[in-house]
Chains A and B, each alone.
Chain A
């Protein structure tokens, strides 16, 4: 069953009273090229979704602030910070994992996985990311909370903004902005600890001895946090963020979203205590869903670009439903298909398994599998063989031919590795490395956590005065693992 909700046509003007937000919107309809911002004063609401948002806010901020301080013992002079992006040393540390710059594809893979997981969750449950996890909404939530502490709830804030400047207004506004900037500074300050040793940086930062990038990053993030979460808020989501526009491609009529159950709510209208409920909907048009909305929208207009799926209107409506003694859930996480089915008098069904969700889940499993496989088979010792090209070969006095190579041996581990190098493909070839004791196979000690360049030479008897190139290979054995690095052996008589 496909339901087409046509939003391109003008909705008929609602017969009931027009919401405050709608009236404000009407006033602010664009008259030129720019839309004036309608100030939003979200009201505090209580309920399970609000509690979930508080819990996630505290949890995620705790992860953000505490992570750089977790210590993780590493051998030698390596940093002991569990999570560290070490630009100077060219390493990314994540607990037991250590990534080199050339392994950045693991981070790419992680981002691809995150994107696919986001697609899957959006197809199933709507924009949960926007409502609960996005830094923009989390920090905005925190800033609105600070605003309430200084200026009171919705009505007090509206009065305060309308009032002329006074000492009371001045200190409340000043205090609010000071705390906002403080939080912004804390945000930027925590960010830089991911790039330097945190205990060292926190000392050097205050005495002006930290790297300039730390101060600049901190200043930029302080500024953006203060501006985005304090001043721009929902405008970031509506005008700057691409996700509200992209998510339309993931959502369908079976996606769970914050939904006004119009089948139950309409026709809406004010309700007096003495009246019955027959012949009318449960919505008493109290506007509570609108005043609590941090995006300033009316969820009763259906799913819309601005909605971040946070569920605060659910809590607000449930509170009212309890008061008027109607069942909860007039606004709830529901699907468009279910609403349409009930409108048509059928039983609503939820379908989580759909082609769309299967595609996303399949892609996610595939990419995760590739990532895990790539990580499992990651070589502790990586070898590249660079063949000398000038001259490509040298003929020796006895007629034999010598080729020179530079082996770049990367030891990703934390311990010195002993490796055996063999050369195959050329009969009678002898391998040597200047400065290393002669042995067969060539045994070399490779220092940990760095790339060791090794000059090696292969000397082989060659057919007289014949030029050509043979396929050959280095095989490198370390701790029972052998890897083969293909190369070539060039020969001919000396040009002189």
Chain B
């Protein structure tokens, strides 16, 4: 699975993208976020307030828990500020 980070999430995690292997820990977006929080202080901080983190799966916004597969692209980013 490909994971992308944008804006301040990227800055705080010092990472723009990574590839992780699919496991039960990331079978859906809720599980993935739970697992992310266990990866160290920076991750715990970034995922502490989910009100300010948006999630897209395969370049589409998701609403609610979403099942994930090996080939999925998951992106985490703050509310958008373009325009």
**A and B interact:** no
- Chain A residues engaging chain B, CB cutoff 8 angstroms: none
CB within 8 Å of A: which residues of B? none
